[in-house]
Chain A
């Protein structure tokens, strides 16, 4: 399993963009990069995933470095409902959750 490094916590103002970084320097060539989030008292929720190219969906964008050793989850306009723990998970057939990044959103 690839090791990941994420900031313990980040803070953002409401309505501003948030860039959540993740280092996964030991990622293998066939591993996808997944992002999940866990809102307080809820189960994890899939956000986005990608392999090499940048990806966009209605929740977020995923920017993947050319060498694939890091990625950044971008929330374009943070809302109070985006306050959660965000997990970056490289892999293919199994989800291995790390400690994640606690995102706090200020109004």
Chain B
């Protein structure tokens, strides 16, 4: 049973399109995150949600909109995709006060052509 699962694993799309990446965790955690890892391999946090409420939003363009329908899900919708959005996106989750003990998904590799 995968603890943090992301779909799809790979996403290839054209510039200007809108796409979504889904994330689900079955760990009973209350906080979920989205990270972006670019071609230089730097991993940066984008968003964090606690009990469906946004708590971290790190200077991410408005084209990126996270949505948390419940504590177990945090989806990432991206409008008007640009070449620079090509990266690997990771979802993660944590529980309670242990915010920095995070469990990561396997990643979604997004390629914008």
Q: Size class of A's contact patch?
A: 20 to 34
User: Do A95 and B102 have beta carbons less than 8 Å apart?
Assistant: yes
A91 contacts chain B at the CB level, 8 A cutoff = yes
Interface: B49 (CB within 8 A):
no
Contact-residue size bin, chain B (C-beta under 8 Å from the other chain):
10 to 19
- Judged by a CB distance under 8 angstroms, whether B66 is at the interface is no
User: Chain A residue with minimal CB distance to B48?
Assistant: A94
In contact, A94 and B45 (Cβ under 8 angstroms) = yes
- Report Cα–Cα, A79/B43, bound state, in Å: 25
Q: Is B43 a contact of A42 with CB atoms below 8 Å?
A: no
Q: Does A78 contact B (CB under 8 A)?
A: no
- Please, which residues of chain B bring their CB within 8 A of the CB of A43? 4, 90, 92, 104-107
Interface string of B77-113 (1 = CB under 8 A from A): 0000000000000101000000111111111000000
Q: Which secondary structure characterizes the binding site on chain A?
A: loop
Residue of A with least CB distance to B91? A43
Contacts of B44 in A (CB 8 A): 97
Q: How far is the CA of A91 from the CA of B105 in the complex (A)?
A: 21
Residue from A38, A46, A95 in contact with B45 in the complex, judged by beta carbons closer than 8 Å: A95
Residue of A nearest to B55 (CB): A93
Instruction: Give 1 or 0 for each of A63-100: 1 = CB within 8 Å of chain B CB.
Output: 00000000000000000000001000101111111010
B40 CB to nearest chain A CB (Å): 9
A93 touches B99 (CB 8 A): yes
Contact of B101 among A41, A49, A94 (CB under 8 A): A49
* Residues of chain B lying within 8 A (CB to CB) of residue A97: 42-44
Residue B56, interface by CB 8 Å = yes
Q: Closest 5 interchain pairs by CB?
A: A43-B104, A97-B43, A93-B99, A43-B90, A44-B104
